Amino acid sequence: MTVAYDGTGFHGWQRQPGHRTVQRELEAALGRVLEDDTVTVAGAGRTDAGVHARGQVASFSHATTLPARAFPPLVNRELPRDVRVVAADERPEGFHARHSAIARRYEYRLLAHPDLLRERHAWAPGRLPPLAALQASAEPLTGTRDFSAFQAVGSSPADPVCHVLRARWSAWEGGAAFDVMADHFLYHMVRNLVGTALAVAGTPDPGAAMRAVLDSRDRSRGGVTAPPEGLSLEQVCYAGEVVG
């Protein structure tokens, strides 16, 4: 299932006792549709509290006679307004939304000016640097690199070497957006890249400054962690699909 949600009212994707999460809402809704409260859903990305999604992917296995096309309307009737199943299809046995993924794409939006309505889904950091400076900061990021400098301190051990297929800034009507795709991401990596881009954009050579942080492999050299509300999981790619 392709799933979209406004993360504002959720304590992230992953099921947690005593907290409202996207995984818990989906499992409850599927349980009512299938009349089976043992349904377990796997998500492609474990988004944090406040992070949104347009292209989250969730998978589950069940011996149901319902066709895949029946699930979006049936499940959506059982879901709250801030989460929706956009599409559904069948995959071969052994498919797993997270482990079968070969790339994920995120977008982070910045506001040029405070905007009460847009601030639910974008961050207004104050003065926005020129777009050219932000784009220059992204140039060293593509390719296979060690992104230890952008991994949250104290996070679980993970392979710090990521293959970034795309890293670019563009204008949107509210300000600037960072579009990044990679084979995998470290914890808080995108939010730390955004915070560092803002920090180096004011230097004489933003690209060189970003490269120095990247090469240092030292989180203390980077910028602040951007808040979650600007981040959205836009797409998850699997074998056989166009990536890039």
Q: How far is it, in rounded angstroms, from Cα 239 to Cα 217?
A: 31
Calculate the dihedral angle through the C-alpha atoms of 142, 51, 74, 37, rounding to the nearest 10 degrees.
110
Q: Which two tokens stand for residue 45?
A: 């990305």
* Beta-sheet strands, E only, within the chain: 2-5, 42-43, 52-59, 83-87, 101-111, 143-146, 161-172, 175-182, 231-238
Residue 115: both structure tokens together: 């905007």
State the DSSP code for 100. Answer: T
* Cα 201 to Cα 32, 125, 208, 223, distances in angstroms: 50, 13, 10, 11
Catalytic residue among 48, 82, 179, 183: 48
Structure tokens at 102: 């070969």
Separation CA 53–CA 26 (nearest Å): 14
Residue 240 corresponds to which tokens in the numbers above? Answer: 């056989």
What residues form DSSP beta bridges with 145? 162
Does 48 participate in catalysis according to the annotation? yes
| Residue 159, phi-psi category: left (phi > 0), alpha (psi -120 to 50), beta (remainder) | beta
As annotated, the active-site residues are 48
